[in-house]
Amino acid sequence: MTTDTPMQLGMVGLGRMGANLVRRLMRDGHRCVVYDLDTDAVDEMEQEGATAASSLHDLADRLEQPRNVWLMLPAGVVQPTLDQLATLLAAGDAVVDGGNSYYRDDIARAGQLAPAGIHYVDCGTSGGVWGLERGYCLMIGGEDEPVARLDPIFRSIAPGTGDAAPTPGRTRTDGTAPEGYLHCGPSGAGHFVKMVHNGVEYGMMAAIGEGLGIIKHADAGLRSRTVDAETAPLREPEAYQYEIDVAEVAEVWRRGSVVGSWLVDLVADALARSPGLDAYTGRVSDSGEGRWTVLAAVDESVPAPVITSALFERYQSRELGRFTGQVLSAMRGEFGGHAEKAG
């Protein structure tokens, strides 16, 4: 497929998602100028048809005005990159931050660039490593004019209408949401919606993990357990004598179940390849969006116990609560002489 309105775009950041965004855009006929500190990544994109830039200055020089620059960078690198770009761009140019920046930073950055007439657009981008083929869900914030100008870019990156069946109750015939991209509001709105999207993702992932964990240990009654004052006995061990194939459960949940989803698809694939998930330690990172979602919930006085619990579960997975546990053990030892059990 080739778009009727090809555009030129500068891409800064050629990690897994940045490179695939470029590939998807070039497939659709857009011209891409690319830059990354990793020259090998730049060379690879050049071999695939992109124009290579050796620096941000070179990238700005190679773009036609009004210039459009997309940043696909870790949140901590966006501000210094933007500061440098601000000296290279001119009135009418647009910068899109397609990473996972904090929406409050977007508001400040839009204000930083506005006096020079440079447009700032925030774009929450969801799709991960699968986005090249599936397309990327885009949640966009910014002024109407630059968002409208960039519509051919967003349309090429998004999944389009073919990926999901029409929503039965939807009567609206306008808007781009059915095509997988949405202008959510002014500066910061796109990353705000993406932030909450990732918070929801935390909760969904935690629920799937907990559910499969309960199924995995449904054979607890078949295993011998130490019985002493420090161990709660298993009530009715005869009720927990199921050796259930967790990988097969994940597979059957994919087929018509209420909880069927892309996340279940992914975990079913991982379990099919390694039923014990031996390559994973269970230490789960959090990149910021879950924390920011919880902070927003507190500010808005909106109860969010599932997302909050899922965030704290990630902290626990990294043993950030270790000292808390040590304090608890110390208190039990002091008031009751309870010794810690190994394992």
Dist. CA 42–CA 52, nearest whole Å = 6
Least confidently predicted of 64-78, 160-174, 179-193, 261-275: 160-174
Residue 275 lies in a domain: no
**Residue 324: pLDDT above 80?**
yes
More confident residue, 155 or 1: 155
Q: How far is CA 144 from CA 73, 174, 190, in A?
A: 24, 16, 13
pLDDT at 287: 83
Is residue 108 within 8 A of residue 50, CB to CB? The reply is no
CB atoms within 10 A of CB 34: 27
Least confidently predicted of 1-15, 79-93, 179-193, 322-336: 1-15
pLDDT at 1: 52
Residue 276 lies in a domain: no
Q: Once rounded to an integer, what is the mean pLDDT over residues 183-195?
A: 98
Dist. CA 275–CA 92, nearest whole Å = 54
CATH number at residue 148: 3.40.50.720
More confident residue, 233 or 89: 89
Query: 179 and 217 share a domain?
Result: no
Query: 163 and 22 share a domain?
Result: yes
With cut-offs at 50, 70 and 90, classify the pLDDT of residue 252: very high
Residue 100 lies in a domain: yes
What are 110-153's pLDDT values in tens digits? 999 999 999 999 999 999 888 999 999 999 999 999 999 999 99
Among 187, 203, 235, give the residue marking a domain's end: 187
- 10 Å CB burial of residue 36 (0-12, 13-18, 19+) is buried
CATH number at residue 234: 1.10.1040.10
> What is the pTM for the complete model shown?
0.92
pLDDT at 343: 63
Q: Once rounded to an integer, what is the mean pLDDT over residues 40-69?
A: 98
**Residue 2: pLDDT above 90?**
no
What are 85-95's pLDDT values in tens digits? 999 999 999 99
Q: What is the share, in percent, of the chain residues with pLDDT greater than 90?
A: 85
HEC assignment per residue over the chain: CCCCCCCEEEEECCCHHHHHHHHHHHHCCCEEEEECCCHHHHHHHHHCCCEECCCHHHHHHHCCCCCEEEECCCHHHHHHHHHHHHCCCCCCCEEEECCCCCHHHHHHHHHHHHHHCCEEEEEEEECHHHHHHHCCEEEEECCHHHHHHCHHHHHHHCCCHHHCCCCCCCCCCCCCHHHCEEEEECCCHHHHHHHHHHHHHHHHHHHHHHHHHHHHCCCHHHCCCCCCCCCCCCCCHHHCCCCCCHHHHHHHHCCCCCCCCHHHHHHHHHHHHCCCCCCCCCCCCCCCHHHHHHHHHHHHCCCCHHHHHHHHHHHHHCCCCHHHHHHHHHHHHHHHCCCCCCC
With cut-offs at 50, 70 and 90, classify the pLDDT of residue 163: low
Dist. CA 124–CA 194, nearest whole Å = 5
Catalytic residues: 194, 201
Residue 269 lies in a domain: no
Amino acid at 115: P
188: left (phi over 0), alpha (psi -120 to 50) or beta: left
Query: 130 and 33 share a domain?
Result: yes
The domain in which residue 329 lies consists of 195-244+281-336
